[in-house]
Amino acid sequence: MQFINIFTWEPGKTAEIMEARAREEVPEGVTVINEWVDLVGNTVFRLIETDDPVALMRLSFPWGDLGYKEMHLVMEAKEALSILKG
């Protein structure tokens, strides 16, 4: 399954966030497909793939005290439309 993770932090915490990101180790069982940084704000978007709920928790848990997390289960629109037309 694929998830979009959205992480937002308060202004002034960028250095702390980037240091934490540099130290981050992605757990086994999670594949980071891509990652984007909002160039005018304090937000990172990350597309990941995993079928392992424990690995998913290990990836997101350490960020809880640094900012605001959102996680959304996603599917390519083309695939979803195909299923809905089914």
pTM across the whole model: 0.87
Query: 86 pLDDT exceeds 80?
Result: no
Please name each of the domains of the chain with its CATH number: 2-85 (3.30.70)
Model pLDDT for residues 8-54, shown as the tens digit of each residue: 999 999 899 989 989 999 999 999 999 999 999 999 999 999 999 99
CB of 3 closer than 8 Å to CB of 72: yes
DSSP lists the bridge partners of residue 32 as: 48
Report the alpha-carbon distance of residue 43 to residue 30 in Å, rounded: 21
- The distance from CA 2 to its chain's CA centroid, rounded to whole angstroms, is 10
